[in-house]
A = this chain, B = another copy of it.
């Protein structure tokens, strides 16, 4: 039984394509209660991009601070309830920001039509009805959230996605101009999310010619951007990074993430560490699993003089480490892919705790 996956309905790519967003949403303005909900990274409050958002007076523009922590189920439920109470159901949700904003836009779109708390729907195909029309406009590239069928949320019980075909965006607008001002460290951490997606996708039992072709090309692009003679934060590389993020995400559609993402989820759930940064912290010590990838990663870290702390675990309690290891252990699809169906014979809470102690 092979996966039957839903693609993004419509894609526009190119410098300046953000200017087409107004025309795109105008086609939807008569739907539902006739207003748009923009969810925008708080970073853009007061910046040039704020003025360019094609909102009308009836619309809600919600700036959201995503710097402190990953999106939560509570946050999504509150946003949905608040908007529903004040104006009803939007014609469309437009997310403008990085991976967290993409996840918020996808999740809230689903929660306008599915009753109760989003905690009820964390998992595969638990959502009952299609969400409302939702558009993703990434301003940071790398997470692949713009193309994935998952809206990852941290809930009281678990960090797990609302995963179904209706999660996928109806429209994405990929304008490489929007990612030009990403701070250097985050340009690196988020780009490495794509790099790690590809390494994990390739190194596991679910990899096939489809996922491999996408991963191979996304890796080629990552090497141009972070390793080659022309590496660095240039316009040409921003063009490439936006495509790499898409391709890395599409590779995962047919394959799966692995050990690094399992550990990273534990860090985010227990310590609130941001996803891409958590990935880098973990990947740096996963030479036993991804030898070539980790070596190349270290070269990229060195080349761009990226600040990646070590010895973090000395400040963690034994209970925290065990709690993180339990979160990671409870992601069987990742271990199955990375280690094989007999992964439980090789991986234990204790062996995962040992990995955390390396960080």
A residues in contact (CB < 8 Å) with B: 1-14, 16-17, 20, 24, 165, 171, 174, 176, 208-210, 213-214, 216-217, 220-221, 236, 239-240, 242-244, 247, 254
Contacts and interface: CB of A to CB of B under 8 A. Distances in A.
A220 to B, nearest CB: 7
Q: Count copies of this chain in the complex.
A: 2
A5 B1 contact: no
B243 A210 contact: yes
A208 B9 contact: no
Given A7-B9, A14-B208, A213 B20 contact: no
A11 B4 contact: yes
A217 to B, nearest CB: 4
Given A239-B209, A243-B209, A243-B210, A2 B8 contact: no
A244 B12 CA distance: 22
A165 B213 CA distance: 26
Contact of A240 (B11, B209, B254): B209
A10 B165 CA distance: 9
A343 B215 CA distance: 38
A7 B165 CA distance: 14
B16 A6 contact: no
Given A209-B240, A213-B247, A239-B209, A10 B14 contact: no
A134 to B, nearest CB: 15
Given A7-B9, A7-B11, A214-B217, 12 more contacts: A2-B12, A2-B13, A4-B10, A4-B12, A4-B20, A5-B10, A13-B210, A209-B236, A209-B242, A213-B243, A213-B244, A216-B217
A217 B2 CA distance: 23
Contacts of A10: 4-7, 165
